[in-house]
Amino acid sequence: MAVVSLSGMTLHVVLLVGTCFTAVLGQHVQLSLGVETEQYTVPCNTYKYFQVDATEPCKDLKIQVNHAEGEPDLYVSRGPEKLPTFRSLAWSSYEWGSESLTISSWDPEYVLGTYYIGVLAYCGSDVSTGNIPAKFTMLAEHVTSTHPHDEVQENGQIAGNIAAEGYKYYRFCVPSTCANIDVGLASCIDPATCPTTYSYPELLVSRSIQQPTINSHAWKLATIDVRSVTLNHDDPDFYPGHYFVGVYGWCTPDDLCSDMSTCGPCSYADNTEFILSLTVTNVTENCTPKAPLELCSTDGTTSMASSFKVLLLSMSLGWIINAL
């Protein structure tokens, strides 16, 4: 807080730098997850606004507009844009009749918090409903997430094969950070046990890269002795949400391999069998669950706006102080 005295008056100025602001607008109808609303009637070419709070880091958010009459179109955004339209949106659905939109929990734009929903009652000569107002109900709910990668279940495992210098991809989700996570990769790495099939596959774990490679910024084994990646509950980079796992068929090209019994040649590494495991140990003491990782806004608008306000305020203070 800065305090400036001006001609007997005291001016109190509070500077809030880097703060995330969330405004709840009175015109938004709050949706309850899993509860269908009453029927709404919206006049032609106007918007009706809703909001819903996503609370599950491992489940998708599904928003439905159940059509009765007219042509309702669906637009969804997160802050700072709280009145989404066809010009300003992050997600949309405008099929004929009812609308259904699923925001994947592994979408980089997905975070827990408030989502803002605009339903436009579209009217015009280009639609069969003409100038009929839209009548509809709303339903928002969390649903099981789907993804092309196979999911490793909590305290489960998946068996697979990997080609030399190839990749296989998997995923898992952490609902709470009050747990220690161990991602293990088991395979035969002992030349004495499997002299012509041993290899040293690499394990990669990323929070943001769906197909991490050995060049990605990710958690890695990077050693023969340790065959698991551990995410501890007190790790500052460990947050709830989806994680992506890559298994890479690391090997040494045969023509560069001076000793086939130690160098891990590619001819031995082809079609390596492995078992990928996920071990979750819950932490019950001295642990406060973290919220999912989130910036002030997805596009930096909030931070930029806050900085601009502080700049204007600083300029005003400078003018006031110089005038004293």
Establish if 291 belongs to a structural domain: no
Instruction: Note whether 212 and 232 are same-domain residues.
Output: yes
Mean pLDDT score, 292-311: 39
Any idea what the CATH number is for the domain that residue 195 is in?
2.60.120.380
Q: Please say whether the beta carbons of 214 and 220 come within 8 A.
A: yes
Choose the final residue of a domain: 128, 144, 160: 144
**Is 233 domain-assigned?**
yes
Do residues 73 and 122 both lie within one domain? yes
pLDDT of residue 89: 65
Give a yes or no: residue 186 inside a domain. yes
Domains identified in the chain, total number: 2
Are both 137 and 156 inside the same structural domain?
A: no
Q: Which of 144, 168, 189 is the last residue of a domain?
A: 144
Residues of the chain by 3-state class (helix, strand, coil), percent to 5? 10, 40, 50
In a domain, 161, yes or no: yes
Domain identity same for 222 and 132: no
Whether 232 and 247 map to the same domain: the answer is yes
Considering the domain boundaries, does residue 14 fall inside one? no
The mean pLDDT value of the chain amounts to 82
Report the pLDDT value the prediction gives residue 98, as an integer from 0 to 100: 77
Is the pLDDT at 319 greater than 80? The verdict is no
- Give the range of the structural domain holding residue 57, as residue numbers without chain letter: 27-144
Same domain flag for 188 and 205: yes
pTM surpassing 0.85? no
Distances (CA, A) of 6 to 13, 15, 315: 13, 19, 16
Residue at 311 is within a domain: no
Angular region, 308: left φ>0, alpha ψ -120 to 50, beta rest: alpha
Both 140 and 154 in one domain: the answer is: no
What Å distances lie between residue 179 and 89, 157, 239, 280, 282, CA to CA? 36, 18, 11, 6, 4
Summarize pLDDT for 221-244 with one digit per residue, the tens: 978 888 999 999 999 888 899 999
Q: Do residue 70 and residue 184 come from a single domain?
A: no
Q: What angle do CA 221, 224, 230 make, to 5 degrees?
A: 35
Does the pLDDT at position 317 exceed 90? Answer: no
The phi, psi pair for 306, rounded to 5°, reads -65, -45
What's the token pair of residue 89?
């949106």
pLDDT, greater one: 9 or 115: 115
Whether the Cβ atoms of residue 198 and residue 252 lie closer than 8 Å to each other = no
Q: Is residue 159 part of a domain?
A: yes
Q: Is residue 10 part of a domain?
A: no
Residues 271, 159: one domain?
A: yes
Q: Quick one: 177 and 251 in the same domain? A: yes
Pairing of strands 179-186, 272-282: antiparallel
* 43-80 residue pLDDT tens: 999 999 999 999 999 999 999 999 999 999 999 998 78
Mean pLDDT of 125-129: 89
